[in-house]
Amino acid sequence: MAQDPKSKNITWSDGDVNHAARVQRNGHKAAILWFTGLSGSGKSTLAMAVEKELFLRRCHTYILDGDNVRFGLNRDLGFSPEDRTENIRRIGEVANLMMDSGTICLTAFISPYRVDRQGSREIAKNGSFIEVFTKCSLEECERRDPKGLYKKARAGEIPQFTGISAPYEEPENAEIVVETDKFNVEECAQQVVDYLIEQKILEVNGI
């Protein structure tokens, strides 16, 4: 049963339920962890590993990825440059709403264009936008090819495939660069969590 409102553990007592009240209640700050990188570079895998660690620390988290966005909110969008831009714009807006709600929102999309990622950074308010570049050579991504997409792209079956027939613009100033072809998932996840600790995201003081 959700705690009775009259019970002792209440600090908030009046006024609107705003971002500050949610952060205070949650015991950690809100943030957007924006994973970007080639297909197969480990964005989703790493986001899930980070989320598990944050959940154990009792943080409120949520992952936006192709599974829950491409077939829902953005199912009207394709992979043309314009649609990719609108795809990322909407994801940036939803991530911002999630962050406003007090959540640490992790997004796992290729998001190949620098200007689109910058757009999402500018949308983000009331928290921190943290770009996480999952750096991995195209050769290694293609070797992994977990969904067989590179094979299809090389065969010409997938047009505008990032890294093969569409550009990927590497981040120039990502807050975190994880080299997923040099370190394992646990090591990369720890690197991200260490950054959050260092930036005092996982505590409330100093907002």
Q: Which residues contact a second copy by CB under 8 A?
A: 1-5, 9-10, 12, 16-17, 21, 25-28, 48, 51-62, 64, 68-69, 72-73, 90, 93-94, 96-98, 100-103, 123, 202-204
Sorted by sequence, the CB contacts under 8 Å of residue 133 that are 6+ apart come out as 36, 37, 170, 171, 174, 176, 177, 178
> Looking at beta carbons only, is 36 or 103 nearer to a second copy?
103
> Looking at beta carbons only, is 26 or 137 nearer to a second copy?
26
Sorted by sequence, the CB contacts under 8 Å of residue 3 that are 6+ apart come out as 9
Among candidate residues 39, 41, 44, 111, the one labeled active-site is: 111
Q: 126: alpha, beta or left, given left = phi > 0 and alpha = psi -120 to 50?
A: left
**Of 66, 42, 64, the residue nearest 187 (C-alpha):** 42
Is-catalytic flag, 111? yes
The Cα–Cα gap between 17 and 197 comes to 26
Residue 99 C-beta: closest distance to a second copy, Å: 11
Continuous segment of H or E residues that includes residue 118? helix 114-123
Residue 1 C-beta: closest distance to a second copy, Å: 4
> Looking at beta carbons only, is 187 or 197 nearer to a second copy?
197
Residue 51 C-beta: closest distance to a second copy, Å: 5
Residue 177 C-beta: closest distance to a second copy, Å: 25
Catalytic residues: 111
